[in-house]
Structure 1
Amino acid sequence: MWIGRSLVSALFGLAANLALASPEFWAAEWPNTDFEQTSVARWSDIMSGGPPKDGIPAIDKPRFVRVADEARIAVREPVITVEIEGARPRAYPIRYLTWHEIVNDQIAGIPVAVTFCPLCNSGIVFDRRTPAGTLSFGVSGKLRYSDMIMYDRETESWWQQAIGEAIVGDLTGTELTALPAWMESWQDFSTRNPDGLVMAEPAFNRDYGRNPYRGYDTSARPFLYSGEMPPHGIHPLMRVVRVGDRAWPLSRFETQDQIAEAGVTISWRAGQASALDTGRIAKGRDVGSIRVRDARGRDVAHDVMFAFAFHAFWPDGQWMRGR
């Protein structure tokens, strides 16, 4: 799903994808996927992001080091934080998730999938337990509305990352439970959790710390997306805080650091670099960090995604634009 290609190449690729948007063209690569079972209305909404199945390798057995022993990560670099009672807090650096997109892990006995889709800026942590059993996930190489389609290795059903739901195959309609997690700067995580753990650098030949999507979140349009743009004049690549089917544009935090609405309190804090701006993640502009809590102060599952993706998956969602 690399963005390092010319616009002409992208347009040719889009045309080719539309021509091949049919299960009969995917069957050889996916012989164990039941394409008769699906919630997808138009196959043309699904296209190749470039790499084939597992061309972006998910991480299955992540290694961790103590916060005090981590020296690679710059202070403003983003990490996905997971804090589960009974376990030391864990940070999953975006410098690794940019190149792997899924980490299958287990925390305090809970099997989790830590996911990040760069093209939607969507970072969500899921419980991997389902009525069909505990699943492990890989990267299919396919996109829908520019969002990663995951697959489970047990049934090879396809799952939409942004909504955590199976959209093709035996498990169509099954939903994953999203766990409270948030994206913040390495400095914020390490300062708050000096005894915490951070995912160690994977043993792959990747230029970790480089952003292969340079300039993406300031571009005019999403990549490999032909759907409807957001309403109300909201820029398609503006970040929004999604809680359920509501979205708060981050532009609201230009004049305030906290918003309390619809039963949640959303706090913004400066200091986190955009992972989709400059060529090196650590040098990205400051987009800040979001934390969402309920009335009792408990962390709430949420996502900080691009506006176009929210509109694509929640076309009837509520835009929390304030007055």
Structure 2
Amino acid sequence: MRYIIGFLAIALFGNVAAAEPRFWVHEWPNTDFARSAVQSWVEIRSGGPPKDGIPALLSVDFGPAAQERSLSPREPVITVELEGQAPRAYPVRYLMWHEIANDTIGDVPVAVTFCPLCNSGITFDRRTDAGVLSFGVSGKLRNSDMIMYDHQTESWWQQAIGEGIVGELTGMELQSLPSWMESWEVFVSRNPEGLVMQQPEGHLRNYGENPYVRYDSSVRPFLYNGEVPPHDIPALARVVRVGERAWPLERLSEERDIREEGVVLTWEMGQASALDTRSIGEGREVGNVRVKDGAGNDLAHDILFAFAFHAFWPDGKWMIGGGKRD
């Protein structure tokens, strides 16, 4: 794993020293460390790669979905469908290695993000009160989740919650847009006139391969010292998060259709886990999930690991079924 290999070299010294921001000032001279929402600097750890060591994409090229031949049917893509625009698919085979794709759909600037260590895939509107931002990968983790940074102020942002946590824009929140992870086959069948992100140029990466083999079968997440989830839910079990509620994917895959709290969740077979086998398209079955409101409108949501939900929403509601909520 990229994070693990880099981390082993600095584990004995780096994370002890990094318990205070002075350790990072030389790398981040433009970040205002006096402004922070982080309660303890020990929460932030180096994942191994330095700033921009995982290169976010500042522009993205697309091609017609009907002409795409390199993607396998079951491999996951992140789908974004904005009104009046052709649906777009962002293959996880590329986001696995870049984690952030800065793009503009019509007149909406977006950041399509994927944190492999949390399985968190969220699309954000890049427009803020501070202007339109673009994002890079800091190389830092908090609760095993990617910390992004904006190029304009070099403030740090927590990907799972879309909030500024260090720097000038601390406390500012990004608007998350409805997007979802589904198999390439499902996307292209529904959107034969859609667009698909093309392989990034100028980067030597093993696109289509998973560098975190069997990660989602692990007992403990990487670089996470927080509490385990309640209800005996495995730390790396997937949950569907809508706001501050989480539905275990295992429950949804058994019931296939859940209607609760004004939310409609559905599940069908056909998507491979990106974090299982070496080949992304051959991973174990995790299924395709859609999340809508009662009127049939797509809702912003995330499918992340249970430990990450518990870490960032410690008072969140677990929709475990059987009349139980916690």
Q: Given the two structures, how large is their TM-score scaled by the length of structure 2?
A: 0.96
2:255 match: secondary structure: coil
Check if 1:37 corresponds to 2:35: yes
* Aligned AA (2:279): R
Check if 1:61 corresponds to 2:59: yes
C-alpha separation between the residues in 2 aligned to 1:130 and 1:4? Answer: 34
CA contact (8 A) 1:159 1:168 kept: yes
Look up the match of 2:177.
Answer: 179
| Structure 2 unpaired stretches of 5+ | none
C-alpha separation between the residues in 2 aligned to 1:14 and 1:117? Answer: 25
CA contact (8 A) 2:133 2:151 kept: yes
- Structure 2 residue corresponding to 1:143, chosen from 121, 141, 144: 141
Aligned-pair Cα RMSD in Å: 1.4
* Aligned AA (2:243): G
| Number of residues of Structure 1 aligned to a counterpart in Structure 2 | 321
Look up the match of 2:105.
Answer: 107
Correspondence list, 1:1-323, <5 A: 2=2, 5=5, 10=8, 13=11, 16-203=14-201, 204-323=203-322
Shift of 1:253: 2.4
CA contact (8 A) 2:3 2:47 kept: no
Residues 73 and 213 of structure 1: is their aligned pair in 2 closer, same or farther, counting only changes over 3 Å? Answer: same
Shift of 1:16: 3.5
Shift of 1:18: 3.1
C-alpha separation between the residues in 2 aligned to 1:57 and 1:214? Answer: 21
Residues 30 and 275 of structure 1: is their aligned pair in 2 closer, same or farther, counting only changes over 3 Å? Answer: same
* Aligned AA (1:35): F
Give the stretch that moved more between structures: 253-262 or 23-32: 253-262
Q: Given the two structures, how large is their TM-score scaled by the length of structure 1?
A: 0.97
* Aligned AA (1:57): P
Give the stretch that moved more between structures: 220-229 or 94-103: 220-229
Structure 1 stretches of at least 4 aligned residues deviating more than 2 Å after TM superposition: 3-6, 9-12, 18-21
C-alpha separation between the residues in 1 aligned to 2:120 and 2:12? Answer: 22
Shift of 1:164: 0.1
Residues 291 and 14 of structure 1: is their aligned pair in 2 closer, same or farther, counting only changes over 3 Å? Answer: farther
CA contact (8 A) 1:150 1:160 kept: yes
* Aligned AA (1:186): W
Residues 5 and 32 of structure 1: is their aligned pair in 2 closer, same or farther, counting only changes over 3 Å? Answer: closer
